[in-house]
Structure 1
């Protein structure tokens, strides 16, 4: 007898013989039903929801005795045990689908289909006896993969070959093999193993962030971030290239230091998850071109001078062992670079945020030591980089510091009294809240991190204490005791009340200039791309996305106040976190995502800011707060902007005073 089996939500159906399992019926129909144990009732991944239980046989012993990690939920059956005995409709829940939709923590990867390049398959080998006519273990594995899973093995990695017999012995003739790219056996384990892991890494010039991901579910199981040890060779990328140029063998030191950090990060991640390094089977890495080259052991000096030639702009695949990372079964995939100063990290951000998938124009900015800018939509995508330097991350700022406990991260200045209030990392209270002193007593409040630097600059401008041209006004001391003379310029005391000014946290004229230079470089790059795209009206931009570890914490309003981004309505400006890392995760869990980004980067139009004559003009115009020449009508509706004030006596002519009020 034959029966019709229909599967939801796919709508696929198949006619099968009585007694066939639902799992086998799903395979015949092409329905998306997961199983890693080969239908032996071990993994619990093939659970289905029958709409007509009478069309299935009763509970099998496999289900009664099941003790796997994933419990059988009420109303569900194991597809590998339940047999068809009537016309049947079954629902395959999301948790039982191979290509599941996923939204996970730490990095927002969006909704994608899980389609990892490595899958696990459980195999029962025949017991060898003297005189038995059995083929070799490799050949038996190939036969079982073909018969049970429909996998045609093209090769078995040579480093796996000597491990098969010991694994089979320890597993009592049962093993689990990992198959990469659908045809290559790359790892072997004794007995039944149902979890494989990958690691997605974003190697920034300042920090390295890693995410340990369950390849079958897309779940991020552990996250770790460390400082890039290369900082001791220079704060920014060009200083590290200079180190290599000036010190023979310097590139070896840089490579060794970052590879050591990567290996230590792997150890930290697996320890946090309570797993072994041997189950880490895949790794994706993104980074700027110089980091990309240094990790691979490629001389980065060609990237330090025109024409900024990449060793390769294609994706690179190698082994973890080749990078001195202790993960013997792991393959490493480097996303492709785009141009000499636009790297795999930008490719990852593009993959995550998808300007190439959007009809509306998207401006994507990864704010960091070297800012990467992407502008466009599905019709045309442009990319460039701007040398912002490390000021946004606290370097070159007198009281700048990393974003650690005790760092000032939020700032507000009262428009009438000009008194500040701050928030610090490690406390939810503002400094004028009751209990702030008690709650922060154990914190060392000793500096300002990137988001705080952006906000204090914006607040000083909105309060009228610094001019459009970035000058700390000399008449400030007559308005508040917090402004004081500092050599030939003036500074603002943000936090602390020590008699000695140096003991407090101050914002100096040099600090303002450092931020002006950084933000002008970034804004000039943005304006240059907009000009090349023929879209200079901010209202034509559909969205602005601020990415990167620093960009994730920028208040969009203050990004507009200091002129970091064009005068797009603030509702269209959003911080999207570590987009490069999110792209690395997407490439880790999906083969189609790798193919998508490799195809996309070939269509990106690269703009080299260093050779563009317009860049310098745009840079000069972008020095002002918010901008020297561009009007900001949208910003004027979103906050109260100061009007131009007359220069203090002896400083030239400027109209005096007051603030424009927000229109009502």
Structure 2
């Protein structure tokens, strides 16, 4: 019988192992980043893993309840003494019985993911929905039958011109003791709805309390969750952090998660539960790092794509997986934190979720529009938020268009043979000498290039572990520039390219970047399969942009803005060589950083911004790539590197792309073949 298939997330690495193989052994053989310091004796708990059960159509497996061996005595003892989270196993003790999908949580990874979604500087006119007000309330009186809440309302009306408030039961319970502790002087935290102007009592403190209150701006992505902790008076970002979205174990892309919900009863509830737990963990860690009381976090703003939007709210996303891709609601929402089980925050805190644009274009795209304001641009701007699902905006003062494009996780290092998420030791930059065909590279956590003195010593701690998204983009583009890759995406063999680094791998070839096997390290290559995965991802991205350009009636754009954490680390030149983005002068390509996160911060700090984006979203024209007949044509043409039909004159004026061909018959150009003339 065929050995069981083991699939590890978030790395995507997989392999077959005999029944009875410990999960830790399988992880080590596949090069999965799973920690262990006790030698597999079940003492250190570093190798905790989370198996997932049910049907995974994306992976083509069904995981049975008995896919791993039952809890053994070592795990039972550890659980009894130190405790294991629900569903967790020790990788050194759990053994493989049949096909299984196993998630390696962040705390079990030696090389933690670097969630590169730092806050960018932005001037914001402060107009927060939640603010503090000091009031002096009339004392209780035998001759006045009004309650404490009513007398608080009177004080707010007389002293702050605030008319009418509501109070949840949790705050009402503490109202009387707090008022009396402060001798009927108090500081209240009020949240004002930007639409109806009504005020809600979030918390109350005795006397004059000028301790800051805070808000969270959260970009809930399909791969990562990034949060900025902001002072609600000044707008200052006092902490930023991010974690992997634990839903990855149910599927790396959005449609895989929709499919998991369809195929597994209660699957949507599972995914909602784990993402809310992750948000609570992230909020608690941010509060701890900033040394503040988490109860002072009184408001949270979320931006997310439609599938994440529904799973956050506890809505089954099944309708988003089939035409007409209907949202349960596209409107903005204001909720209580407890509605989303956000118990790490102030229990009466408020949550605002930006509006979605359409079934596949979510609140994250609305946040990018709020941050970058294409509707105010005099020139034609193409704004691309690069991620597992790319959101694209094209517009100027006359019109704004939007679409989403299913790029998949390849840009983030998944589905790549030596790929990994961004973490210390991952190759993030690479150059290939067009004459010698030799590579040099940089890894996350080290500013030196691999051919510079001190590189080996500087990377001794992290090692060289794989290649992340920005690295694979540059690697493919550099292969093309160096003449090792032809326009169709074929890697030449050693004879055709003149370098032994191009190695035969079955019927195709691969390029060797780094070989540390002599020291027990990895062998990092770019394979033909890797090239194909990148071609598919970049073709979807470019085809989406071309559809918007068709609708706008243009063949060129004036400028390109790369948004998102990944977009911030992409080289503009390499992105254009690859054909990810339309041809423009390189100085017209800029990075907006985490624009979705910036939009979330703006909405957190400004009621006027919320009103503005709700109006803007209604004026954006949505293009549905899934039903556009020209999408496939654009997709096929975009498979070439950089493109089969679209000219790239700006690119070709600064970069020579060798005119080589490495077809399966082996006849094509030789190393250093004819070069395309400069435009």
CA spacing shift, 1:216–1:501, aligned 2, 3 Å: closer
Residue 127 of structure 1, CA deviation: 5.1
- 1:266 correspondence with 2:283: yes
Residue 213 of structure 1, CA deviation: 0.8
Mapped partners of 1:627, 1:292: distance in 2: 35
Mapped partners of 1:375, 1:524: distance in 2: 13
Contact 2:515 2:521 survives alignment (8 Å): no
Mapped partners of 1:618, 1:646: distance in 2: 22
Question: 162, 171, 179: which is aligned to 1:151?
Answer: 162
Mapped partners of 1:198, 1:527: distance in 2: 38
Residue 328 of structure 2: aligned partner = 311
Residue 123 of structure 2: aligned partner = 111
Pairing of 1:16-95 with structure 2 (within 5 A): none
CA spacing shift, 1:146–1:543, aligned 2, 3 Å: same
160-169 or 572-581, which deviates more:
160-169
Question: 260, 267, 292: which is aligned to 1:275?
Answer: 292
CA spacing shift, 1:661–1:615, aligned 2, 3 Å: closer
| Higher RCO, Cα 8 Å, sep 6+ | 2
489-498 or 610-619, which deviates more:
489-498
Pairing of 1:102-141 with structure 2 (within 5 A): 106-108=118-120, 110-126=122-138, 135-141=146-152
Residue 645 of structure 1: aligned partner = 660
Contact 1:477 1:483 survives alignment (8 Å): no
Q: Secondary structure at the match of 1:160?
A: helix
Contact 2:332 2:353 survives alignment (8 Å): yes
Mapped partners of 2:644, 2:496: distance in 1: 26
Residue 487 of structure 2: aligned partner = 468
Residue 355 of structure 1: aligned partner = 374
Contact 1:202 1:210 survives alignment (8 Å): yes
Residue 266 of structure 2: aligned partner = 249
Residue 173 of structure 1, CA deviation: 3.1
CA spacing shift, 1:507–1:158, aligned 2, 3 Å: same
- 1:209 correspondence with 2:220: no
223-232 or 182-191, which deviates more:
182-191
Residue 503 of structure 1, CA deviation: 4.0
User: What is the CA deviation profile of residues 97-132 of structure 1, one whole-angstrom value per residue up to 9, with x for unaligned ones?
Assistant: xxxxxxxx9323633311001111112334558x67
Q: Secondary structure at the match of 1:470?
A: coil
- 1:342 correspondence with 2:361: yes
User: What is the CA deviation profile of residues 309-341 of structure 1, one whole-angstrom value per residue up to 9, with x for unaligned ones?
Assistant: 111110011111010111312111111111111
Mapped partners of 2:313, 2:568: distance in 1: 28
Residue 139 of structure 1, CA deviation: 2.6
Pairing of 1:276-291 with structure 2 (within 5 A): 276-291=293-308
Contact 2:213 2:297 survives alignment (8 Å): yes
Question: 255, 269, 278: which is aligned to 1:238?
Answer: 255
- 1:404 correspondence with 2:423: yes
CA spacing shift, 1:126–1:408, aligned 2, 3 Å: same
- 1:416 correspondence with 2:427: no
User: What is the CA deviation profile of residues 607-630 of structure 1, one whole-angstrom value per residue up to 9, with x for unaligned ones?
Assistant: 111111101110010001111111
- 1:632 correspondence with 2:651: no
Q: Secondary structure at the match of 2:170?
A: coil
Question: 594, 598, 618: which is aligned to 1:578?
Answer: 594
Residue 648 of structure 1, CA deviation: 7.1
Q: Secondary structure at the match of 2:122?
A: coil
Contact 1:475 1:648 survives alignment (8 Å): no
CA spacing shift, 1:219–1:357, aligned 2, 3 Å: same
- 1:387 correspondence with 2:406: yes
Mapped partners of 1:109, 1:263: distance in 2: 26
Mapped partners of 1:647, 1:278: distance in 2: 62
Contact 1:477 1:484 survives alignment (8 Å): no
Mapped partners of 2:348, 2:271: distance in 1: 25
CA spacing shift, 1:135–1:478, aligned 2, 3 Å: closer
CA spacing shift, 1:384–1:217, aligned 2, 3 Å: same
TM-score, normalising length: structure 2: 0.78
User: What is the CA deviation profile of residues 158-188 of structure 1, one whole-angstrom value per residue up to 9, with x for unaligned ones?
Assistant: 4322211111233343211112216333321
- 1:190 correspondence with 2:206: yes
Residue 146 of structure 1, CA deviation: 2.2
Question: 422, 441, 447: which is aligned to 2:466?
Answer: 447
User: What is the CA deviation profile of residues 390-433 of structure 1, one whole-angstrom value per residue up to 9, with x for unaligned ones?
Assistant: 10011110000010110000000111111100000010000000
CA spacing shift, 1:178–1:307, aligned 2, 3 Å: same
Contact 1:110 1:352 survives alignment (8 Å): no
**Aligned pairs, number:** 554
Question: 161, 165, 184: which is aligned to 2:176?
Answer: 165
Residue 612 of structure 1: aligned partner = 628
Mapped partners of 1:415, 1:146: distance in 2: 74
TM-score, normalising length: structure 1: 0.80
Mapped partners of 1:222, 1:654: distance in 2: 54
Residue 659 of structure 1, CA deviation: 3.8
Contact 1:109 1:586 survives alignment (8 Å): no
Residue 610 of structure 2: aligned partner = 594
Unaligned 5+ runs, structure 2: 1-116
Contact 2:491 2:662 survives alignment (8 Å): no
Residue 558 of structure 1: aligned partner = 574
Contact 2:126 2:605 survives alignment (8 Å): yes
Q: Secondary structure at the match of 1:522?
A: helix
Residue 385 of structure 2: aligned partner = 366
Question: 213, 217, 220: which is aligned to 1:200?
Answer: 217
Unaligned 5+ runs, structure 1: 1-104
Question: 481, 501, 509: which is aligned to 1:490?
Answer: 509
Mapped partners of 1:225, 1:500: distance in 2: 33
User: What is the CA deviation profile of residues 51-103 of structure 1, one whole-angstrom value per residue up to 9, with x for unaligned ones?
Assistant: xxxxxxxxxxxxxxxxxxxxxxxxxxxxxxxxxxxxxxxxxxxxxxxxxxxxx
Mapped partners of 1:149, 1:611: distance in 2: 54
Q: Secondary structure at the match of 1:560?
A: helix
CA spacing shift, 1:189–1:510, aligned 2, 3 Å: same
Residue 352 of structure 1, CA deviation: 0.5
Mapped partners of 1:367, 1:115: distance in 2: 30
Residue 649 of structure 1, CA deviation: 9.4
Q: Secondary structure at the match of 1:492?
A: strand
Q: Please, what is the CA RMSD of the aligned residues?
A: 2.1
Contact 1:199 1:588 survives alignment (8 Å): yes
Mapped partners of 1:646, 1:290: distance in 2: 42
160-169 or 181-190, which deviates more:
181-190
User: What is the CA deviation profile of residues 567-591 of structure 1, one whole-angstrom value per residue up to 9, with x for unaligned ones?
Assistant: 1111111121111111111111000
Residue 266 of structure 1, CA deviation: 1.4
Q: Secondary structure at the match of 1:557?
A: helix
Mapped partners of 1:471, 1:455: distance in 2: 16
